[in-house]
Amino acid sequence: EAQVTQNPRYLITVTGKKLTVTCSQNMNHEYMSWYRQDPGLGLRQIYYSMNVEVTDKGDVPEGYKVSRKEKRNFPLILESPSPNQTSLYFCASGLAGYTDTQYFGPGTRLTVL
């Protein structure tokens, strides 16, 4: 089944404790992206990757890191999480063209205490 998977789905952590949210897709997509969704602000792009070893900042990259060492995986790293990073996070993937559909993962709800 074609899908984008994210792990964990729910995470409660404390300020400053490094964490990684994994994202994996099985559709051989070049494009992968991370978003956060907050009430009243909607979805905002954190980072995206057009292909292996190519990453670019989105709207809100501060406090986040990403890497794209393999085509199927695009982990999101929070080196020192803070409470303002409490949010619902989505990973998505798609073909590289600007007119291609994105496929979203199920979301990861992160709470930073």
Partner 1 sequence: KNEVEQSPQNLTAQEGEFITINCSYSVGISALHWLQQHPGGGIVSLFMLSSGKKKHGRLIATINIQEKHSSLHITASHPRDSAVYICAVRFGQFYFGTGTSLTVIP
With CB under 8 A as the contact rule, which of the stretches 12-20, 21-29, 36-44, 70-78 interacts with partner 1?
36-44
Tell me which of 65, 86, 103, 111 binds partner 1, using CB under 8 A: 103
What is the DSSP code (8-state) at residue 100?
P
Binding mask 70-99 for partner 1 (x = CB under 8 A): ------------------x-x-x-----xx
Is residue 44 a contact point for partner 1 (CB under 8 A)?
yes
| 7, containing H or E segment | strand 4-7
**How far is residue 12 from each of residues 27, 30, 37, 66, measured CA to CA in Å?**
30, 31, 17, 20
